[in-house]
Every structure is written in structure tokens, then in C-alpha cells.
């Protein structure tokens, strides 16, 4: 009978301790799930930024293309200038500066 009491006591203690461990495991699983959700949110926020960056770069590329075209045209016009020695006056030189 004594052995039966000890066995019953051990079974009850084991059952109560196992439920504490189960609750801790569930709590840790929920914590992991919440943290993984934070990771996914960070990745989504990062993915949402990419189209904005692409649009910014495209807009800047258009501006750069216009600037490059204007500089090229200005250089070609500057090399086409012919200087007539008869017209070398201060006023005509100031026009090109």
C-alpha cells in the first residue's frame, strides 16, 4: 500500500509538472511566432522601398540625360565659333564669357 501511495504521488506530481512545461512551451512558441512576424514586416517594408528608389533613380536619370544633352550642345556650339580678327573688341569678347 505504501508503494501505491508513492507511485500515485509521483504520478500526480509528474502530471502537474508536465502541464507547467507545456504552458512554457506554448508561451515560447507564441513568442517565436510574434518575432518572426516582426522579421516579415521588416522585409515587407524593405520590399516596399524598392519601387520608390527605382522611381527616384529614373527621375534623376532623365534629369542627367537632359543636362548631358545641354552640355554637349553647348560644347558643339562653342567649338563652331570662328573669330574674325577685325571684330576683336572688348564688347564682342564679353559676349562669350
Question: Where do the structural domains in the chain lie, given as residue ranges?
Answer: 2-80
Task: For residue 92, report the phi and psi dihedrals to the nearest 5 degrees.
Answer: -70, -35
Q: Which residue has the higher pLDDT, 50 or 79?
A: 50
**By the 8 A CB rule, do 81 and 95 touch?**
no
**By the 8 A CB rule, do 97 and 78 touch?**
no
pTM equals 0.45
Tens digits of per-residue pLDDT, 25-76?
Answer: 889 999 999 999 999 999 999 999 999 999 999 888 888 888 889 888 888 8
Cell numbers placing 36: 518572426
Amino acid at each position: 500500500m505504501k508503494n501505491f501511495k508513492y507511485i500515485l504521488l509521483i504520478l500526480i506530481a509528474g502530471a502537474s509538472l508536465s502541464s507547467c512545461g507545456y504552458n512554457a512551451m506554448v508561451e515560447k512558441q507564441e513568442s517565436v511566432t510574434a518575432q518572426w512576424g516582426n522579421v516579415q514586416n521588416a522585409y515587407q517594408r524593405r520590399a516596399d522601398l524598392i519601387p520608390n528608389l527605382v522611381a527616384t533613380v529614373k527621375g534623376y536619370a532623365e534629369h542627367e540625360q537632359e543636362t548631358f544633352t545641354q552640355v554637349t550642345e553647348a560644347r558643339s556650339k562653342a567649338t563652331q565659333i570662328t573669330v574674325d580678327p577685325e571684330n576683336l573688341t572688348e564688347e564682342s569678347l564679353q559676349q562669350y564669357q
